[in-house]
Amino acid sequence: MNRLLIIILIAVMLFISGCDFDDADTLYRKEIRNFMYEIALDFSLGNTVGIMDKVHWNYLHNGDISYHFNQELINRMGRFSLLDIDVIYIELNGDYALVHTIDRYSSSIENASYNEPETKGWMSYLKYERDGWMIYGNQQWISFRTQSESE
């Protein structure tokens, strides 16, 4: 009887102490927020390799593969020196996530802000692998946006 009382007392103390009992979705959301922060930090430090290490080997987004992702990254790093990513909302579907963000790029001569994934979404589609989250793309071979939308 004393053992049972001690076990119950320990369980109650753990409950009262406010231990962090997050579910898997909450943990995934925290990981994704940290992941997006790391991307912004790598961008601001000019660490192209650090960002490309976060791109899945099977990246495909509106017909673009990881080579195109790298080119887009280099182009943006040529225009902007800083990136700030505000995560607005995260849609989870098992090991896949769609991250809604406001990406704010800035330099000494130019500022730009993009609502993702609505604008281009090139970093918005993620897949969870054994090592963590990876930029995966929407896995579409063609873009469904019209020419006027992309201009």
Strand pairing partners for 106? Answer: 82, 111
Over 50: is that where the pLDDT of 150 sits?
Answer: no
- What digits encode the pLDDT tens for the residues 15-41? 665 555 568 889 999 999 999 999 999
Mean pLDDT, rounded, for 141-146? 64
If one compares 9 and 81, the residue with the highest pLDDT of the two is 81
Mean pLDDT, rounded, for 47-56? 97
Residue 136: per-residue pLDDT: 97
Residues 6+ apart with CB under 8 A from 122: 61, 64, 69, 72, 116, 135, 137
Mean pLDDT of the chain: 88
- Residue whose token pair is 């009382």: 5
Is 3.10.450.50 the CATH classification of the domain at 24-150? yes
- What digits encode the pLDDT tens for the residues 104-130? 999 999 999 999 999 999 999 999 998
Indicate the length of the chain as a whole number: 151
* pTM (2 d.p.): 0.78
If one compares 80 and 144, the residue with the highest pLDDT of the two is 80
What is the C-alpha to C-alpha distance for residues 54 and 120, in angstroms, rounded to an integer? 18
Share of the chain above pLDDT 90, in %: 74
What's the pLDDT band for 138 if we cut at 50, 70, 90? Answer: very high
Residues 6+ apart with CB under 8 A from 69: 52, 55, 59, 61, 122, 135, 137
